[in-house]
Amino acid sequence: MSSSGMPYLRRIRRRTTSRAAGGTTSRAAARTTIPTHRARTATVAVASALALTALAACGTSSSDDGDSGGDKGADAANAAAPLDPKTKVTLTIDCMPPAAEKGELKQWKEDVKAFNEKYPNVTIQGKQTDPCLEPPRFTAMLKAKSQPDVFYTYFTDLQQVMDNDGAQDISAYVNDKSVPALKDMDPNVLDVMKKDGKLYGLPYSNYTMGLLINRKLFEKAGLDPNSPPTTWAEVRTAAKKITALGDGVSGFGEYSAGNNGGWHFTATTYGLGGDIVSEDGTRAAFNNDTGKQIVDNLKAMRWDDNSMGKTQLLKWGDLQKQMAADKLGMFLAAPDDITYMVQNLGAKYDDFGMGPIPGQKATLFGGNDYMIKKGSSPDQIKAAVAWINFKFLSVGKGQFDWARTKADGLPVGLPQPNFWTGDSKTTDDKDRKASATMPVENFQAFTDKPVTGKAEPPKAQEVYKVLDTLMSAVLTNKDADADKLLKTAEQQVNQVLANQ
């Protein structure tokens, strides 16, 4: 859910520690999630010579020139100029991989070394925490102004960061010289990091929701796994055929606990062209024909078709277990759910596929990014942008060096991160496919016709909590009144939004 997402199991800490609603932990958040359960390790510094030394404290600005005038605004022309390789500056940076993630840590060290070949006087001090972001710690860090110079956030964190005056406006520093692939970045992703037209972050990874399928069950049921359902009518038909296989198999699964049900109600609503809140964010917008369609369809699949199984009140992790055990045919998910099942539940990449979210009008998206601490000097800001560009935003380099990722024994082929367009997307898709460690054709239905991403609603976790009640009622009470449920949820969400 809210940045509530999953790093490539290592990159997007989305759903394990969502904070979209001011501290509620939920897997439904940007996805931004980490199923690898990284082991906690000591804070470590990576110096330009690549020596690792313990950091005694986390993250005050540390430019050698002592200038903290970044928030006063540098001269526009000077700000737009890329970092001078002769500049001497030190940066503390969030989310350095821990020792337990040997492949990722190896790549981090390699990238620091390569970065220092161009910028020999920039010292990168990497900060290891497990996970990269925990809601209580993050909030405390912002209030104490103790965040690293370059700090990790979820897409849903901007308002909280702004409320604490925590991030630097980097608009003047980000251009086609400092970030050459900027023109090919999905504008919807960049917009999430903007406030009042000003840019406060750059993306690290992202996800979009689609329909995850079990290919083996599709084939057994006489369905084409290369053409997953694209409408809810098709989903319902396919679910009945899969359920007819018997042996405890369910055709379709859905969440209704831990805020995950509300997260999925939101994703489903977006797919059908609806909204959860009004455009100005002040009132609920789902008590309408679209909301009724969603509730009625779930009720029909659960009670008329019996294609959703008897066990309900499911939360994140439950559906993955069912699918990995070949007991579930379909559910809404992001691509990194597959990696979670492979790495944690003994599944195989070959057994899964993805299609677009039913309806295809829009899809819920989330992810994570890096922001730069308010008060950083102009040189620190330039160095931070240069590092983020080198490590995370350069096709064929850093996190997009798929040949290296494969050689290091890490998974390649999932359509995530997925924020490129134009020539950058063409090149990255080609490179990713060439080094794939899984059958990328299984995701072709998902990637060939990308659906426009749409951000989570304001106060997402609180809204999801309300919608969880609606979802659980529909899936556990055969006599649930759709109109009454929607009206009650509408009133409660309006109360949540009134308290912003």
pLDDT digits (tens, 9 = 90+) for 116-131: 999 999 999 999 876 7
Cα-based distances in Å from 220 to 171, 211, 338: 53, 18, 20
Average pLDDT rounded to a whole number, residues 361-383: 96
Instruction: Report pTM.
Output: 0.80
Average pLDDT rounded to a whole number, residues 463-478: 97
Structure tokens at 175: 């251009």
Region of poorest pLDDT, from 74-78, 82-86, 276-280, 294-298: 74-78
pLDDT digits (tens, 9 = 90+) for 259-305: 999 999 999 999 999 999 999 999 999 999 999 999 999 999 999 99
| Coil vs helix vs strand at 51 | coil
pLDDT of residue 133: 81
| H-helix or E-strand spanning residue 137 | helix 135-144
pLDDT at 63 over 60: no
DSSP secondary structure letters along 324-352: HTT-EEEEEE-THHHHHHHHHH---GGGE
φ/ψ of residue 251, rounded to 5: -75, -40
Region of poorest pLDDT, from 5-9, 85-89, 119-123, 365-369: 5-9
pLDDT of residue 49: 35
Region of poorest pLDDT, from 18-32, 187-201, 415-429, 439-453: 18-32
* β-strand pairing of 44-46 with 52-54: antiparallel
Q: Mean pLDDT in the chain?
A: 86
pLDDT of residue 324: 98
pLDDT of residue 426: 94
More confident residue, 34 or 390: 390
pLDDT cut 70: percent of the chain above it:
85
Task: Please state the separation of Cα 463 from the chain's center in Å.
Answer: 19
Structure tokens at 315: 């939360």
∠283-287-289 over CA atoms, to 5°? 135
Structure tokens at 426: 């063409």
pLDDT digits (tens, 9 = 90+) for 1-48: 333 433 233 333 333 333 333 333 344 444 433 333 333 233 333 333
How far apart CA 11 and CA 21 sit, in angstroms, is 21
Confidence grade of residue 76 (pLDDT, cut at 50, 70, 90): confident
Average pLDDT rounded to a whole number, residues 368-394: 97
Confidence grade of residue 62 (pLDDT, cut at 50, 70, 90): very low
DSSP state, residue 442 = G
- Contacts of the segment 215-218: beta carbons below 8 A, 24+ positions apart: 215/350, 215/351, 215/352, 215/353, 215/442, 216/326, 216/351, 217/242, 217/245, 217/249, 217/326, 217/328, 217/329, 218/242, 218/329, 218/353
More confident residue, 332 or 134: 332
